[in-house]
Structure 1
Amino acid sequence: MANNLTYQVRNIAEVTTAVANGDLTRKIDVDAQGEILALKTTVNRMVDQLSSFASEVTRVAREVGSEGQLGGQARVEGVEGTWKRLTESVNELAGSLTTQIRAIATVTSAVARGDLTRSIAIEAQGELAELKDNINSMVGSLRETTQANQEQDWLKSNLARISRLMQGHRDLLEVAKLTMSELTPLVSARYGAFYSIDPDADSELILIGGYGVRPDRGPRQRFAIGEGIVGQAAAEGRHIVLDDVPPEYITIDSGLSRSTPAQIVVLPILFENRVLGVLELASFTPFGEVHLDFLTQLVETIGVTMNTIIANSRTEDLLTESQRLTRELQERSDELQRQQEELRRSNAELEDKAALLAKQNRAIEIQNFQIEQARRTLEERAEQLAVSSRYKSEFLANMSHELRTPLNSLLVLAKLLTENAEGNLTSQQVEFARTIHSAGSALLQLINDMLDLSKVEAGRMDIHPIQVSLPKMVDLLEAAFAPLAQDKGLSFSVEVNPDVPQELRADEQRLQQVLRNLLSNAVKFTPRGEVKLRVAKPPVGVDFDDETLHEARDLLAFQVIDTGIGIAPDKRDVIFEAFRQADGTTSRKYGGTGLGLAICRDIARLLGGEIHVDSELGQGSTFTLYLPASYTGPLAATDGGAARRPLITTSADEPAAPAPEPPMPLDMPLPELVEPPVETPVQWQGDDPLNGAKILIVDDDIRNVFALTSVLERHGSTVVYAENGREGIEQLERNEDVALVLMDIMMPEMDGWATTSAIRRMPQFADLPIIALTAKVMRGDREKSIASGASDYVPKPVDVDRLLERLRGWLSRGRGAASDSSASPAEGS
């Protein structure tokens, strides 16, 4: 027992001693019973638990401390008391260390990836707390540095990008549009306005671009320097930031909402301390410092761009003006050279004509020359219209205006020269002036013929049939042409068959126009023999162009028979075409424009008839006008004769042959067909109302102003003038003592009708005499002028004596000193 007990105790002591020495590999292995067995079991279990605890703690320490494997935990089953608390402490230590290191690792990994938004938020003590704070400080510093670098990169890259976009633009409006579309969203703004200095007023800013504006509540269009926040920023030369914007100040609209901005910034655009514009932006959120820095630097770039555009624009304007002046000088030089050449050519032609026509009167020579020049001018105008199939009445009306306008000054000044009031002209020079006046009058008649032709072709010539006494009309024609025939040594006779009616229903004026033209041509182109007018029933078997004439009753045949030069068979159709003659050469014996027979044929068709010609070269001609005794309307199939008037065209490889002209021009003077004739004025007696009167002339043609001024000043009048309607009204406002206005109708921008109406709306000029003048004499112009407020109407070219009498009448009426015989305008004028 003693040995056994000793062995058992010694074994227990060895094991406990080994445990005390840290050796947990030993166990009690003696056989034992009872309490010793219980002690053995307890000691061995304790050794197993200590061994397991030591193994787990060693493993966790090795994994966490040596191998760096975080998250390890000691798992010891059945330990209690101190060992359990020790296990928990080890696990708590390992867990805390794991959490801290992983938090540090997570933040540092994020930093390594460029994510500077993370920070270490775990609790730590001691050196780990210092490490945590150092790492967080490092991340914050990196974040601020990186953000600053990014903002600078953003600022510089966008400055460079927008600068590149603005390069090459030459239009301020394009630059403003580009700036607004690129800049406003870039700085997170939702509203923008771009103002520029007004080029016409350096003290004002005008809106040239916008972003997010409403049409009905858009930004203000104009600011004076110093006016409002925009004008104040321009005046101070520094930017202004507005916080806490009131709701009524501005709203930013979208499709779903309307909101008030949180902040508004206004920046002046400067170049070398000179204000070029102002930029205004509004945002829902306050602008950041980088945005404000960006805007401050960008407006400098915009200022440079704007200055470049303005400078280039001024340079281009100066270059354009220089080029314009150069062209004008060149054109004037060319015009002077052309005029000199024209004068040399004209002098040479005059000398040639003087040599050939030495036996003729000098005045007739000049008249024929000017008529020839006018004919060539009209031929050139007709050739320019070769692309058209018919003449346009409005074009001829405009051409009439262009011809009548210089013709007006020509006739007025020629009239003044013939009066020779200063007595400084020779009798020959006075005769020259009379010849110029006569030639101009002939040209005026030619213009009237052109208008007649245009009215026929446009279907605007009215026919007014009345009962016409045939004997009376024939007597008038005989009285007019018998003396002309006698002067040429021709016999003239009239035959009226007894079976023709004594009256016919027709337009007497148009019928006389046709017969006068035919008789005039017959007298002109008959060098010897006779001219006869015969009125009879038409012979049987006449071949009419229009079938309706075959069925017409009571046809009359007006025959003009002569023994003149005759017409070749191949020219009988040509002579009825406008600007065509049988002899179209430049050396032809008989002049004329070739309009007479063209007008006659068209008028004959309007009267419901036809003109036929029967002629033999050198033996004479018979022109017959077939006309119904009772007017039934124009021939429907001819369309005014326009279809029978082909125009002459030439190719680029082939010179144009001169157009043959009919030898039947309209030489006899015809009644004015556009406006009614004015009665012969009664010569003024007593004090001249023109003397001392102030008269305003409103006319865009300085030649007419010069001519009329010369006439009026000769009679003691004071003349003020204006080149257009607006200046005319300004002259009236400055000269309220104007006694009468001469108002040209055809003026650019504000014509005479509009100007007259505007003057009549001014109470102080309600009774001011206004006389309308126009060279574009068309039907209805008189009525339109009177309706606009004109007191009287005078077509150009004006008859100086008649115009002066009308002026005296209106001036006398205005003074209340008119006499019964001559102190008022002619009735019906």
Structure 2
Amino acid sequence: MEGYALFKTRRFTIRSKIVLGYLVVVLLFGVVLSVLSAQIDVLQKENDFISHHDLDVHNLTNAIEKNVLDMETGQRGFMLTGNPMYLEPYTHGLSEWDSNYNQLIALISDNPAQQQSLQNIKSHIIRWIDIAGEPSVQLKKEGDQDKVIAFFKSDPGKNEIDLLRSQLASFRNNEIMLTEARVTDLANRSSTLLTVLYTLWGLIAAVSIAAAFIVSGNIVKTLLEVKQTISDISKGGNLKQRIRVRTRDEVADLGYETNQLLDEVQEQNRVKDQLTGIATLMQNPTTLEGLSRLFLSELATLLEIPYGVLYYWKENRLLRVAAYAGDGEKERSLGQISLAPGQGMVGQCALEKRVLRMNDLPQNYIRISSGLGFASASSLTVVPVLFEGRVIAVLELASMKPLQERAMKLIEELAAIFGVSLHSTATRMELQHLYDESQVLNEELQAQSEKLQLQTEEMQSQTEELQMQTEELYMLNERLEAQKGAAESSAKELAVVADQLRTSSGYKSEFLANMSHELRTPLNSMLILSEILAENKHHHLSHEEQNYASVIHRSGKDLLHLINDILDLSKVEAGQMEVEFNPVYLDTLPEVMNQYFLKTAEQKNLDFRIQLQSPLPEAIETDEMRLHQILRNLLSNAFKFTSEGEVALTISQMSLDHSDRAGQATDVIAFSVSDTGIGIEESKLLQVFEAFKQADGATARKYGGTGLGLSISQSLASLLGGSISAASRPGQGSVFTLFLPLNRGISDMQVELDSRLFMNEAAGTSAALEDQTLSSLTSYSSLTTLSQTPEESHEIWLTPLEEALISGRQILVVDDDIRNVYALANALEHYGMNVVSAQNGTECLELLEHGGLKPDVILMDIMMPEMDGYETTRQIRERLGLTGIPIIVLSAKAMKEDREKSIAAGATDYLSKPLNVKDVLSRMKLWMTHEKMKN
């Protein structure tokens, strides 16, 4: 190799030959380009001279002629008209011609004949100016008309002008002839240059082709020699033959590389022969141990590896199945019989599926012993044996020195072959084991087949019976198909009726919503004014008159509750009632219900108990508002029909069995409202859940009410996924129980209970609820002090800060009903506010845009003539740009979408009629404070 390196430094390579040839061609091209460049520069200068010089000469000649004509035209115009304006072209030409003349005389400095012609032209111009131009202008300026006329008659300058035209034409023609001569000469020289260019190109092409033939012949000759040598080797098949190269270029490199390739191919053939021999040997063993020992022995012989161990993967363990020259005593002392994945280098190799190597091992880490002594291995190699991408064995090898890359490649190839043989042997052993087991099973199956023969005969007779039953079922199926067609036609008719019912329900809902608006509008003013009268702030009313006002206010409240119940029932029937499921904490219910009914219990002298019986979940998923509404309805009925004794609310968890699902139960939360009131007859228990129905018409009139509460409650319970059951006995009381699912994920949970339970069953249920885990019973004392209920009418007390906030504020009330305006004005003026009213949207916009009104708050009604509240609010926000004034919408329609439509139109807040003065003041204070903080 050293000689070859020295040889490479003293050679004339193919690259050098090719580069030399190209250098010659490039040099010739450089010479040609230099000659051509010089000639092209000369031609370019000639071309530039013609393009610029001749064009400038022609332009200046025309300019001088134009200057003379301008002077003549200006002189004649001035003499004819006497207008000084005609002197401008004369003056301009007089000042320009001399400058153009000097430029032109400089350009033709190389042509004496043309210079002489140009000087003659100059003398005639000067003479015309002296004898015609200046004298005539001076005569006209002096105003001697007779002399001017005489001058025109003689016209001494005409001859000079005629001579000038003739001389300028001659001068211009001479220049044109000179230009044509230069162009002809330039064309001739260009043709000569083109001829020279073709000649040089042919010469360079000939030289280049000759050089290419010389260089390529030199290269191809050597390559042909190498090709012939390789062809002889391939035909003879003798890999021992080598190429002899005598050149000193890249062909020599080719020869040396070819010889190395032959050496490598010869070595690979030798290795393939060895691999083939080992693969053939590994087909003979029939056990894993025998195959593994044979493989380790062949590997040690081939690569001179003195130590090896093989581990087989079985049941997620690595079992040592064979070793070569292993130290048995040390291995038994270490207990290395089986390894887990990831344990040691062998286990880690199985996990990572890659070769692991470790060199420079410490002394006595692995001892390689013989009869004469022992030595320590210095290198450890762990190789995974893979089959179809999974590890089936791990090979551990130790040697005295690190293995070379060629040896590692050979080990990997041998491991791949061994993996196939190992898997085949293991599969063959497993198949043999299965075959042995199948032999045993075959004998058992033989005995069972005799039994099956007897059973087959019995089944044959049963098959005949089934055939007869099948014919009967076929006839039954035909009758069912006929009934199915009738049922489908009935279903279509029911679908049409259902669509009509939905349409009718929608009309009814819209009618009730509009009727609600018509009822709430007068009710709003009645409630506000009656509340003001009941307060008797100025002490103008007697005690009896104040009571009258309180009665009116309470009657209006009852009417409002009736309207709300009718709307709720309408929404439920129309499918427009929506529920929002959120966590509801059960321990908060007693306090909420006490706020509503503790005062009622005290007034009627009844014991009111609320019990939470454990175990109970902390919270359930349901609609808190609807749950409160149902419980309030049930408790209101209990208090209404109970004159003595107690009313109790018990909350517990229980499991209910489904009548149509054997062995299945549903966990529910039971809210039981029990009372010791008048009770209900069994035959009328179902009737109380119908709208506008009560157990007894006389009772209804005695105790009041519309009969909507239970109907609405039952509908709301269904929306929440539960139901309400009732049990009662006349004279002893009633128990109404609301069942709600504990797990909201059970979508088909519908608690169906028989509402016609006997009183003793209800009493048993109540007793069972009360007896459960008394230690966890939570009771809320009826002596708890709570705030007054919203039902009570009392004067609204304001702090000094609140009075200062609202006093003197200007409020704009927009409402077409004068009763509402009057009621709101009286209520708000009690607190020192200034109230301005507008009866429709148009009047409101007029006041804001042109009336100079700047209210602090706008109270906006929705349903008004000409322009409703939505459009008025949009106009205020968008057209007038008044975005800082709070706009509180007051609507009597009270539908679910009204609030969203109001906010979308630009409203700040929303209140439904009838209005509570306290709520109105609270919202106004809130938004006025908000605007004050913003500013």
TM-score bucket (shorter structure): 0.3 to 0.5
TM-score when scaled to structure 2? 0.38
Determine which structure has the larger helix proportion and give its number.
2
CA radius of gyration, larger in: 2
TM-score when scaled to structure 1? 0.42
